A and B are shown apart, each in its own frame.
Chain A
Amino acid sequence: MSRHGLRPLRVGIIDGAVFGTLAEDAEPLEDYLGPPILAQLRRLFDRPVRVLGYNRQRIRGNWKLYAENTRDNYHASLLHEFLVTFGLDRSTQTGGVKMDARHRHNITWAEADSDTDEFAHQAYAGAGVRNDFLSLKEPSLVTFRPERDDKLNLVVTSVFPSAVFVQISNSLAVRQIRPRGVDEVEVFQTMLGYEDDPPEMTLHRLRQTNLVGPAGLVSMEDGEAIEIAHRASGPDPDRATIIELGGGGVISDRDYRVTDVPLRGFWSYYAELLGIEPEGAVR
């Protein structure tokens, strides 16, 4: 290998999911991930998976904006209006965020059928947000078929720096955040099912791939939003804009959905790695 100039990767495997790193001093994979993340990966990979296909999205923005995106719970029901328009995924559901001890990774989760239409109508009306939920002609597009003992129908597990494991209803995927320089990122997504899925379940998952990816009914907006944020941050590299949506203070798990605290966890670890932590930084 050395004759060809190839650099060996250190590799770790969790139930078939292969992780690699170029860092020689990296901690063992299971320590790096921590118990909550490990548990989610073991849940997702509890049976052999089948690759249904791939999709790629090229976004003219910095890769860290995408890493922020999957940790930010505010934007889902604001930006991805498909969710709200059809009353599908709502901030009024039972859900929250869960992180590893160092707060570099995050699990965004929500439970199916955990709020009532009436409660959601009232809450959204009170916040001045659209609440005249429409209905789909083909409801199977969003019908959740529970596959396990839990009620989780949304689990987005972000692993620092560049992996995301996604369950949205019955669509399952692994996303790789591939930087293509400072100003461009490719989100490479592998769509999954299970080897023992009956053909009917495979069809159900293929229908629900409509929700994610570059043409995803739920996800397409991310491409445009990141490009706008990237363009806006370019012209004044010496100046800063800070929006403390969730405020400052301690970085910790939350059992509610309207929070962006995992995003601060990401930046805190990023700053530590790069040796640019400010004085008094919260970890």
Chain B
Amino acid sequence: MNPDRAAICDLLAEYGALIDMAKFDEWLGLFAEECRYQIVPRENFDRGLPAALVFCDSRAMLEDRIRALREANKYNIHTDRHVIGLPRISEDGPALEAPFAVFQTDQEGETRLFATGLYRDRLEISGRDLKIRDKLILLDTFAVPTLLATPL
């Protein structure tokens, strides 16, 4: 059975909201047990080059990323705001493609456009849940402002 459009939109809404609320454990819960997460600069993707900014080809690596973010990495204190556009859905997979923008606001209330690009997700239906099996984030904003710490 294919998931309906509403369920896929709910998943995307949860995805953005959980990052923006810094609920990273719950965010990890949106991924399948076997999953992949990559942020690839568009200039690499267009040339067929494989290097990513973030390359997690297992759930363990994605969990290490989040642990490092909590325990080790230092970064500018900010609020993320994900604005995720309407997805194009293909029943093969199922898969989706959705544009996104992430705005960052600093402690003085100044907002800048931090990143924009395209999500390409392959999903997995497990029981009543919809999980992300493979998330490819094509980053249009490949000149990364300052640093990229919290997930896109």
Contact = CB atoms under 8 A, between A and B. Distances in A.
Contact of A206 (B41, B50, B72, B147): B50
A191 B47 CA distance: 14
Nearest to B144: A214
B55 A206 contact: yes
B51 A207 contact: no
B143 A186 contact: yes
Given A82-B73, A86-B72, A55 B146 contact: no
Given A82-B73, A210-B55, A53 B41 contact: yes
A50 to B, nearest CB: 10
Contacts of A55: 41, 51, 53, 142, 144
Given A207-B61, A220-B147, A215 B51 contact: no
Nearest to B150: A215
A41 interface: no
A224 interface: yes
Interface stretch (A89-97, A100-108, A134-142): A134-142
Given A54-B49, A60-B146, A224 B55 contact: no
Contact of A54 (B43, B74, B147): B43
Contacts of B144: 55-58, 214-215
A163 interface: no
A81 interface: yes
A213 to B, nearest CB: 6
Contacts of A202: 50
Contacts of B54: 210, 215
A215 B148 contact: yes
Contacts of B63: 137
Given A136-B64, A215-B53, A58 B145 contact: yes
B52 interface: yes
B60 interface: yes
B60 A137 contact: yes
Interface string B58-88: 1011011101100111111000000000000
A46 to B, nearest CB: 21
Contacts of B47: 53
Nearest to A84: B72
A209 B55 contact: yes
Contact of B50 (A53, A82, A214): A53
A54 B124 CA distance: 31
A223 interface: yes
B39 interface: yes
Contacts of A111: none
A209 B144 CA distance: 15
17 contacts: A51-B49, A54-B44, A54-B51, A55-B53, A56-B41, A56-B143, A57-B143, A81-B74, A85-B71, A86-B72, A206-B50, A210-B56, A210-B65, A214-B147, A217-B68, A217-B73, A220-B148
A-B interface, 4 closest residue pairs, ranked by CB to CB distance from nearest: A53-B51, A223-B147, A214-B144, A137-B60
